[in-house]
């Protein structure tokens, strides 16, 4: 009897150690997968491609809806999906009530100004041409009066509280990491 119990515990230790190895491999795989999404491969314009911009027309895409602004607080973070829904609702209200502009519009303007000065591009502005989708075919149909389309879109922005100071928040977006009070 004693040998069988001892043998059984040895077998249990082997299974447990295999589970630890599998767990470590799983975590390592997740880390590597998340790191692969961290880098964005850029494809700079060649001289030939940039010379094709000379004396052409360009339109900046503008979208009919702003992306959701997620305003995370110490309270709504605790409630999972319901907390996320509350954070989006509160964030969108904050953006609307304070007339905060989508940062993609300013970035598009600065890029188009550069293209205008560097490549003599004529920037066309159609106020009523608001895109509802960022699919290439939809953008080409919407902005068919121009040679090129400059498409800059905000995909994620929001605010989150400082862990050490729940009354102040950090802006998570494309530009500044400014601190503002609630």
Q: Tens of pLDDT along 19-53?
A: 677 777 777 776 666 655 555 566 777 888 888 88
Question: Which DSSP letter does residue 83 get?
Answer: H
Q: What is the pTM of this model?
A: 0.63
Question: Which DSSP letter does residue 156 get?
Answer: -
- 71, 94 Cβ separation under 8 angstroms: yes
Distance linking the first and last C-alpha atoms of the chain: 69
Nearest of 116, 92, 16, 105 to residue 62 by alpha carbon: 105
Give 135-159 as a DSSP string: -HHHHHHHTTTSSEEE------EEE
Q: Tens of pLDDT along 111-141?
A: 999 999 988 999 998 777 888 888 888 889 8
């Amino acid at each position: 009897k004693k040998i069988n119990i001892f043998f059984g515990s040895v077998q249990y230790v082997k299974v447990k150690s295999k589970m630890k190895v599998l767990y470590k491999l799983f975590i390592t795989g997740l880390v590597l997968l998340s790191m692969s999404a961290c880098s964005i491969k850029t494809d700079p314009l060649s001289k030939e491609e940039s010379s094709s911009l000379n004396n052409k027309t360009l339109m900046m895409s503008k979208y009919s809806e702003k992306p959701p602004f997620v305003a995370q607080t110490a309270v709504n973070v605790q409630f999972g999906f319901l907390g996320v829904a509350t954070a989006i609702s509160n964030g969108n209200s904050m953006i609307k009530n304070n007339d905060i502009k989508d940062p993609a519009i300013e970035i598009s303007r600065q890029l188009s100004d550069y293209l205008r000065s560097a490549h003599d591009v004529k920037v066309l502005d159609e106020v009523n041409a608001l895109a509802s989708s960022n699919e290439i075919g939809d953008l080409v149909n919407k902005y068919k009066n121009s040679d090129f389309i400059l498409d800059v879109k905000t995909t994620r922005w929001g605010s989150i509280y400082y862990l050490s100071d729940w009354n102040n928040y950090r802006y998570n977006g494309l530009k500044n990491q400014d601190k503002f009070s609630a």
